[in-house]
Amino acid sequence: MKRPRSRERAASELFAALYPRLAGWCRRLVDDDETAHEIASEAFTRLWARWTTVTEPQGFLFVTAANLVRDHWRKLERERRAVRRVSVEVAVAPPAEQADPSVRMLVQSLPDRLRVPILLHYYADMPIREVSVLTGRKEGTVKADLHAARELLRVHLRRSLDHTG
């Protein structure tokens, strides 16, 4: 029974010596105290599970923590992309209140290539630069698409006015 106590004592001493440094290092990488402590604790948990096979515990802890930090960053990036995607979908959705339903129907009838820039620029009040970034098109292309969409809308509106007058 002496062996488990010395193992536990060695693990306890290692924890006391390295945990603050490891948690502080993680804190600088993730910019969040709670997440840093979770990552540092998880690294120690994984070390403890492999305690008898790890020859360099400090290196194991820092490599494991680095991998957990990388996983955390990837998760944050996936969340950011999801938020951007939802934001674009909300911006592209037609506004709830529309003064003239026929204009809304005309905008909806535009091809996607023209409709999306119209919705983002005129309905979501986004500058051309932002529309360019969100659609992945050059600013000049966005401007040309907006011009083409306005021309199509102008033609359709003239036709509908001629038929009603």
Higher-pLDDT residue of 157, 163: 157
Residue 84 near residue 76 (C-beta atoms within 8 A): no
> Distance between CA atoms of 132 and 139, rounded to whole angstroms?
5
The model's pLDDT over 101-139, given as tens digits with 9 standing for 90+, comes to 567 678 777 888 888 888 877 876 778 998 888 788 999
Residue 118 near residue 147 (C-beta atoms within 8 A): no
Q: What is the DSSP letter of 165?
A: -
Answering whether pTM is above 0.75, one says no
Residue 137 phi/psi, 5-degree rounding, is -115, 155
Mean pLDDT, rounded, of the chain: 84
> Distance between CA atoms of 137 and 133, rounded to whole angstroms?
7
CA gyration radius, the chain: 29
Say what the pLDDT of residue 1 is.
46
The model's pLDDT over 92-111, given as tens digits with 9 standing for 90+, comes to 665 554 445 567 678 777 88
Residue 30 near residue 72 (C-beta atoms within 8 A): yes
The model's pLDDT over 66-87, given as tens digits with 9 standing for 90+, comes to 999 999 998 888 888 888 777 7
Sequential DSSP letters for 15-79:
HHHHHHHHHHHHHHHHS-HHHHHHHHHHHHHHHHHTTTT-S-HHHHHHHHHHHHHHHHHHHHHHH
